[in-house]
A and B are shown apart, each in its own frame.
With several copies, the nearest count.
Chain A
Amino acid sequence: MTLDVATVDMTARIGSLTLPNPLMTASGCAAAGRELHQFFDVGELGAVVTKSVMTAPRSGRDTPRMAETDSGMLNSIGLQGPGIDAFVEKDLAWLREVGARAVVSIAGSSVQEFRDLAARLADEPGVAAIEVNISCPNVANRGLVFACEPTSAASVVAAVRAVLPPTIPLLAKLSPDVTDIVEIAAACVSAGADGLTMINTLLGISIDVDRMRPRLAGLTGGLSGPAVRPVAVRCIWQVQAAMLAGRLPTVPIVGVGGVRTGLDALELVLAGACAVQVGTVAFHDPSAPLRVRDELAKAVQERGFSSFMDAVGHAHRVLATAEGTR
């Protein structure tokens, strides 16, 4: 059965949040949606995840800030942005105006900064959810990245959860650069995360063999793109499996990492993701988020699911059945 337009129910539920479909942009790969709106109506997406915003305006890092690698890229933007006030006034207002659902990503260099940012957003209309980008250095802890340490990660989540109304779900975005992602996931969920976004970029370096120095001015960068999809699928799988095994409470997972097509998105969904973000691939194909939505809908329908949510985590059930009948 090949379909031009899928009619399957694509409603995605992330805790208390209901979205018309599971497709989102990825933080830092869509700015605040305005530029992509030239190519498609961003209101048609499940949500627009905005670039991680901090309190003050930030210039970002020195350039070059990017290096292309095999099936991927490194970036070292340094969270360039206008600061929370300008963000709320201009970007959030614009998203509201065009009828887009905004998942606002926040970043801080201290627990206090995360809390303040969340408090500032708590009463703003049009915030569908908050995503905390904990892949930033914790100034109080020798610059160690929050996401790499369960107690640091948990303290951010708890602080943010405390100032947000219950109507706004909190997603904790995890880094794959850890020995045990389930441990970090469990710490975030215990601290009150309503969902988990996986994965942020992997730490990488690329060297310019002509200039014989690192390509990125900032030395290290985040690796993203199709190259990392197997790592994203693995992280989602491990956390979903741990939830199924009762090792941590079940919360929704938002998948991100190397999605180029609807079938790539389906990989993440079958592993356990109930929403999917498209990041780097939007640089190559600006209409990718919407294209992937349609391709995913078709793929879900062709596989005989009556609704998108039925496909979430389905590979775990297939595997359990196969092992059971062995």
Chain B
Amino acid sequence: MSVPSSRRPGGPVQVAGRIISVRRVGAYQHLTILAPGVAETARPGQFVALAVGGERTGMLLRRSFSIHKVTPTGVYGGTVDVVVADAGRGTHWLTTRGVGEPVDVVGPLGRAFPLPKTPEACVLVGGGYGTAPLFWLADVLRERGCRVDIILGAASEDRLFGVLEARRSSTTSTVTTDDGSAGTKGRVTNVLGEVIDRADASVVYACGPMAMLRAVTDVATAHGAVAQVAVEESMACGIGICMTCVMPVEGPDGQTRMLRSCVEGPVFRGDTVRWESWQDGIGRVPDDCVGAAAMRSH
């Protein structure tokens, strides 16, 4: 099997993958997919877009998943691991696939977590399956001499992912659940300030639901750390051609633009995201956004 490579160095490829292992982990399905060409250039924070439903399906759009880890040099080629929650019809299809079944993969997609140039203390925060990309990130950070502390949060124990992995990859790991079924009862942000202070962390990496990312950004900023957050917006293409996945982000020039979270994200500096724009599931274009004025004519 020849390894497909992107026409842009490090860019995405499309490859006919195959599931080579499936495991149930709490509420999630952990899939290992043989996908040569994807693993080789992927970095933590990037994602893959998987086709769902099989041939002649009525589900037209790919589903996006953070890359949990990669193994660039398996026997048959590189593999990619993803952790999937059964959240709807497409993920339901994925979580009911067996070993040996084909899955079409496009990846690696998006911008990875930016890594500190010098060894820094970092706190990694994950909500639910949002922890999936963090352990790989932790490994990469520790290789660079960074101290890593991890906080895992979820609604309940079965929705935690990677409690053991967290312990292995970090100096300290803390668990919170909304219902108190594991670890500290409450939100990740209840403990985050303390963990930042204890580690004297300068960067907080976070992945999880929008509301959590906003709260993490607030706490990080208040405690003098920079938040790097991986967002999850509804994506029709995942590769930057459709303009469905946009969100308001402030640029270095102080101007807010509707950026594509698939190619200009999914990782953004938390304090550049205009969090106040989301209300009741609707993401409003801020009035001061570049190009907002032109929308008023029609």
Instruction: Please report A residues at the B interface, Cβ cutoff 8 Å.
Output: 28-31, 34-41, 51, 54-66, 68, 70-73, 75, 77-78, 80-81, 83, 109, 136-137, 139, 143, 211, 217, 225-226, 280-287, 322, 326
Min CB distance A52 to B, Å, is: 11
**B233 — which chain A residues lie within 8 A by C-beta?**
63
What residue in chain B is nearest A40 (Cβ atoms)? Answer: B7
Beyond A40-B7, A322-B282, whether A280 also contacts B60 by CB under 8 A is yes
**A64 & B283 in contact (Cβ 8 Å cutoff):** yes
B14 within 8 A of A: yes
B266-298 interface code vs A (CB 8 A; 1 in, 0 out): 000000000000011111110001111111011
Instruction: Please report B residues at the A interface, Cβ cutoff 8 Å.
Output: 6-8, 11-14, 51, 58-62, 104, 106, 233-234, 236-247, 257-258, 263, 279-285, 289-295, 297-298
**B244 & A59 in contact (Cβ 8 Å cutoff):** no
Select one of B61, B106, B294 contacting A58, CB under 8 A.
B294
What residue in chain B is nearest A33 (Cβ atoms)? Answer: B241
**B281 — which chain A residues lie within 8 A by C-beta?**
64, 211
Beyond A64-B234, A225-B60, A226-B58, whether A39 also contacts B14 by CB under 8 A is yes
**B14 & A60 in contact (Cβ 8 Å cutoff):** no
Min CB distance A285 to B, Å, is: 7
Task: Identify whether the interface residues of B are mostly helix, strand, loop, or mixed.
Answer: loop
For the complex of A and B, the 4 pairs showing the least CB-CB separation, nearest first, are A59-B291, A63-B283, A283-B237, A66-B244
In the bound complex, CA of A139 to CA of B295 (Å): 12
Select one of A29, A63, A217 contacting B247, CB under 8 A.
A63
Min CB distance B281 to A, Å, is: 6
Select one of B12, B234, B291, B295 contacting A38, CB under 8 A.
B12
**A37 — which chain B residues lie within 8 A by C-beta?**
7-8
What residue in chain B is nearest A35 (Cβ atoms)? Answer: B240
Beyond A38-B11, A284-B60, whether A65 also contacts B239 by CB under 8 A is no
**A63 & B246 in contact (Cβ 8 Å cutoff):** yes
Beyond A56-B293, A62-B283, A322-B282, whether A29 also contacts B241 by CB under 8 A is yes
Select one of A30, A73, A137, A226 contacting B236, CB under 8 A.
A73
19 additional A-B residue pairs with CB within 8 Å, beyond A63-B245, A137-B298, A283-B241? A29-B241, A29-B242, A31-B240, A36-B241, A38-B6, A39-B14, A40-B7, A57-B291, A60-B295, A63-B247, A64-B281, A64-B283, A66-B236, A73-B61, A77-B242, A143-B298, A217-B283, A226-B60, A283-B238
Task: Identify whether the interface residues of A are mostly helix, strand, loop, or mixed.
Answer: loop
In the bound complex, CA of A143 to CA of B242 (Å): 25
**A31 & B241 in contact (Cβ 8 Å cutoff):** yes
What residue in chain B is nearest A37 (Cβ atoms)? Answer: B7
In the bound complex, CA of A286 to CA of B7 (Å): 13
Min CB distance A302 to B, Å, is: 17
**A211 — which chain B residues lie within 8 A by C-beta?**
280-281
**A68 — which chain B residues lie within 8 A by C-beta?**
59-61, 236
Select one of A75, A83, A217 contacting B242, CB under 8 A.
A75
Min CB distance A22 to B, Å, is: 21
In the bound complex, CA of A60 to CA of B285 (Å): 8
**A283 & B293 in contact (Cβ 8 Å cutoff):** no
Q: Which of B7, B238, B247, B285 has the most CB of A within 10 A?
A: B285
